[in-house]
A = this chain, B = another copy of it.
Amino acid sequence: MLVDIRKESFNAYQEILSYQASQDFSGKCGATASFVGSMRDFNDDRKVTSMTLEYYPGMTEKHLNAIAREAIEKWNLLDVLILHRIGKIKIGEDIVLVASWSAHRKEAFESCRTMMEQLKSSAPFWKKENTTAGSKWVEKNTSG
């Protein structure tokens, strides 16, 4: 299990590849579901040029670790990887990665989506969007 907060930009699929290479899922894993959230150049109707992500050092890591551990237990997963960016994020950069390794597809799909929804609704991160008309805190995540 790996949960990590990243100050530097990362490529989500490269991270999955590196993580898989460091583990031994081969033959046991039948199903991997993953979700990658990336930085768009619009939100609702605003043109966004970049974003700054704030977090709660200590609590954010603790909270994400709890989400991952509970998912592994609930769905009997082989492993979970969660990465999340903080700091200044440019258009097109990856913000979040959630991946589940399982023997079966149902567990992989359900755990990946549930972890992502939990992260969105409760992990302490806050986005401030920088637009051509100034900076603005995002007030609320859209429901999934």
Contacts and interface: CB of A to CB of B under 8 A. Distances in A.
Interface residues of A, number: 39
Identical subunits present: 2
21 contacts: A11-B17, A13-B20, A25-B38, A26-B38, A26-B92, A27-B91, A27-B92, A28-B40, A28-B41, A30-B37, A30-B40, A31-B36, A31-B37, A32-B36, A33-B33, A34-B36, A35-B108, A40-B103, A105-B120, A105-B144, A109-B112
Contact of A105 (B37, B41, B92, B103): B37
Interface string A79-121: 0000000000001100000000001111011001100100010
Contact of A16 (B13, B39, B105, B120): B13
B37 A34 contact: no
Report, nearest first, the 5 A-B pairs whose CB atoms are least far apart.
Answer: A26-B92, A27-B41, A30-B40, A32-B36, A13-B13
A44 to B, nearest CB: 11
B108 A26 contact: no
A5 interface: no
Nearest to A29: B38
A22 interface: no
Contacts of A104: 142
Contacts of A26: 38, 91-92
B35 A31 contact: yes
